[in-house]
Amino acid sequence: MHQLGILYANKGEVDEAIALFNQSLEITESIGNVQTKAATLHQLGILYANKGEVD
């Protein structure tokens, strides 16, 4: 899911990318994959910042 999120983000399909990153976050949390969780949170932060949704 994480890599798909990157592909969608690169295509400019931000809402779809966010949905995929959120799915990735759920999966990585359930299996305890800390590295991918961190990368996913990083990508979500970038997308929300680009959308102007960061305080």
pLDDT reported for residue 1: 87
pLDDT recorded at residue 11 = 96
Assign residue 21 a region (left: φ > 0; alpha: ψ between -120 and 50; beta: otherwise).
alpha
Query: Considering the entire predicted model, what is its pTM?
Result: 0.89
Write the CA distances from 29 to 17, 49, 50, 54, integer angstroms: 18, 23, 25, 23
Q: In angstroms, what is the C-alpha Rg of the chain?
A: 11
Q: What is the pLDDT of residue 53?
A: 84
> Which residues of the chain register pLDDT less than 50?
none
Contact 17, 55 (CB under 8 A): no
Parent domain of 33: 1-53
Overall domain count for the chain: 1
